[in-house]
């Protein structure tokens, strides 16, 4: 029996790890491959902001799915103290007596192995397999392999293959800039975004692909229009354009659900419903959408609240909340409704006045239709009217059209 063992911080596991394990598995044909995230790597510090061990284990398990006969093991995470490879080798030797154990490692680890704890134990109990992290290190690797064979009687396999020049440090640096997905599997990336590990923010093209899957196809143009308008308004009024895009992409993510499904989500997420929402379930999608966006896509509270308040608004709305609310109301794919053009024009002149006009006109038309108005809509209209008065700005003059 032959077991390939790959230890590391896996913080997060990236394409370099996966490629090297795939190449090693194809060349050495192990019966199984085990990825072992270290609790406390003895030869490097875990970076500040490193996620909890459970997260590294979960990401490693997701990465393992890309490698044949591969699993993630928590054996080092369960052990206290520094995660010495020699202890892991002893433990595995007991578990698998008679098996050939092979530790897979990159160039950096091969070159420093003699400074590890009990290197002679590691090389006695296990073979080594080396996959270069970058081109041009062949001579160095060959010399070190020869040295280890001679000095420790080590069994060293030097693997060929195109390296993937990337490190976890590099990926951690890219994730907050909405980059780095190219170095991760989709499963690992979705996990990182869901939990917003490493301060990650989603790449917007990825978020669109995943977010649109929650929509009825006919709603996609509206969501696209809302995103475009949200970005324009954000740029004009000084909100973060990418936060606005995130909120817009996800703002209707539960809109397709019927009343029962909405209520099930309310139960799942502990959402309280009021009598107006129970009468008119269309109002619920803002609350359930915000909760789902936070749960599945890890949106931070300021984006969650922009989704949460995009239907009724609320007194004291933030700039981002207003931008998303109005983008939804006046995006260019919107079917005509009374006051649309006036509200759209106002959105580019005075954001508060556009909010006030939208709310005033919808209060008027909802009342005309004999429907109950959510009290938050009326309270929000009064709030914006007062705000305009305080700032000495006039509300938009508007005569209701006959409908």
**What does the binding site for ligand ATP look like in residue numbers (CB under 6 A)?**
8-11, 16-17, 20, 44, 105-106, 108-109, 131, 133, 163-164, 166-169
Please tell me whether residue 126 adopts helix, strand or coil conformation: coil
Compute how many other C-beta atoms are within 10 angstroms of the C-beta atom of residue 318. 14
Closer CB to ligand ATP, residue 22 or residue 280?
Answer: 22
- Cβ-Cβ contacts under 8 Å for 104 (sequence gap 6 or more): 4, 5, 6, 20, 21, 24, 128, 129, 130, 131
* Alpha-carbon distance values, 147 to 40, 74, 151, 214, 374 (Å): 28, 32, 6, 57, 77
Closer residue to ligand ATP in complex, CB, 34/166: 166
Query: If DSSP codes are grouped into helix, strand and coil, which group holds residue 351?
Result: helix
Q: Give the residue with the Cβ less far from ligand ATP, 111 or 379.
A: 111
First CA to last CA distance, the chain: 80
Nearer to ligand ATP, 151 or 169 (CB): 169
CB of 127 to ligand ATP, least distance (A): 14
Question: Which CB sits closer to ligand ATP, 111 or 271?
Answer: 111
Distance in Å, CB of 199 to ligand ATP, minimum = 15
Nearest 10 degrees: Cα torsion 35, 39, 40, 41: 0
From the CB of 82, what's the least distance to ligand ATP, in Å? 14
Closest CB 235 distance from ligand ATP, rounded Å: 35
Count CB atoms within 10 A of the CB of residue 241: 16
The residue (of 112 and 224) whose beta carbon lies closer to ligand ATP is 112
Tokens standing for residue 261: 């499904």
Shortest reach from residue 38's CB to ligand ATP, in Å: 8
Nearest approach in angstroms of CB 74 to ligand ATP is 16
At its nearest, how many Å lie between ligand ATP and the CB of residue 139? 18
The long-range contacts involving 140-146, CB below 8 angstroms and separated by at least 24 positions, are 140/107, 140/111, 141/107, 141/110, 144/110, 144/111, 145/110
The smaller minimum CB distance to ligand ATP, of residues 5 and 121, is found at: 5
The answer to whether residues 269 and 235 touch, using CB atoms and an 8 Å cutoff, is no
For ligand ATP, the closer of residues 11 and 362 by Cβ is: 11
- Locus of tokens 């006039």: 394
Nearer to ligand ATP, 162 or 397 (CB): 162
Q: Collapse the DSSP code of 385 into the 3-class scheme (helix H, G, I; strand E, B; otherwise coil) and give the result.
A: helix
Smallest separation (angstroms) from ligand ATP to the CB of 164: 5
The closest of 302, 322, 294, 309 to 234, measured between CA atoms, is: 322
Our CB check for ligand ATP shows the closer of 85 and 376 to be 85
CB of 172 to ligand ATP, least distance (A): 7
Residue pair 301/291 in contact by the 8 Å Cβ criterion: no
Mapping DSSP to helix (H, G, I), strand (E, B) and coil, where does residue 234 land? Answer: helix
**Minimum distance from residue 19 beta carbon to ligand ATP (Å):** 7
Cβ atoms within 10 A of the Cβ of 89, count?
21
Structure tokens at 277: 């929402």
């Amino acid at each position: 029996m032959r077991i390939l063992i790959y230890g590391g911080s896996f913080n997060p596991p990236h394409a370099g790890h996966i490629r090297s394990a795939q190449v090693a598995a194809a060349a050495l044909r192990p019966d199984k491959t085990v990825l072992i995230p270290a609790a406390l790597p003895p030869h490097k510090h875990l970076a500040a902001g490193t996620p909890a061990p459970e997260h590294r284990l979960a990401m490693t398990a997701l990465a393992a799915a890309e490698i044949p006969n591969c699993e993630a093991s928590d054996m080092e995470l369960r052990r206290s103290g520094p995660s010495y490879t020699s202890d892991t080798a002893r433990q595995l030797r007991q578990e698998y007596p008679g098996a050939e154990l092979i530790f897979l490692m990159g160039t950096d680890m091969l070159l420093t192995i003699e400074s590890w704890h009990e290197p002679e134990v590691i090389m006695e109990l296990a073979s080594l397999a080396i996959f270069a992290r970058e081109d041009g290190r062949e001579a160095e690797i060959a010399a070190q392999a020869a040295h280890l064979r001679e000095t420790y009687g080590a069994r060293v396999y030097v693997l060929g293959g195109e390296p993937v020049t990337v490190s976890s440090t590099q990926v951690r640096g890219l994730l907050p800039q909405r980059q780095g997905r190219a170095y991760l599997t989709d499963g690992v990336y979705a996990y990182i975004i869901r939990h917003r590990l490493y301060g990650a923010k989603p790449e917007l093209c990825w978020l669109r692909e995943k977010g649109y899957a929650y929509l009825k196809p006919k709603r996609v143009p509206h969501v696209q229009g809302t995103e475009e308008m949200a970005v324009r308004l954000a740029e004009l009024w000084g909100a973060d354009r990418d936060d606005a895009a995130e909120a817009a992409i996800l703002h209707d993510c539960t809109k397709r659900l019927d009343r029962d499904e909405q209520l099930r989500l309310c139960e799942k997420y502990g959402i309280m419903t009021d009598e107006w929402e129970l009468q008119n379930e269309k109002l619920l999608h803002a609350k359930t959408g915000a909760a789902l966006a936070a749960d599945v896509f890890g949106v931070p509270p300021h984006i969650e609240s922009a989704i949460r308040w995009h239907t009724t608004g609320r007194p004291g709305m933030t700039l981002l909340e207003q931008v998303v609310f109005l983008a939804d109301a006046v995006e260019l794919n919107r079917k005509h409704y009374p006051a649309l053009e006036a509200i759209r024009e106002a959105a580019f002149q005075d954001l508060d006045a556009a909010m006030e006009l939208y709310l005033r006109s919808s209060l008027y038309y909802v009342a005309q239709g004999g429907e109950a108005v959510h009290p938050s809509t009326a309270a929000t209209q009064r709030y914006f009217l007062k705000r305009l008065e305080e700032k000495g700005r006039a509300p938009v003059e508007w005569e209701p059209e006959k409908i």
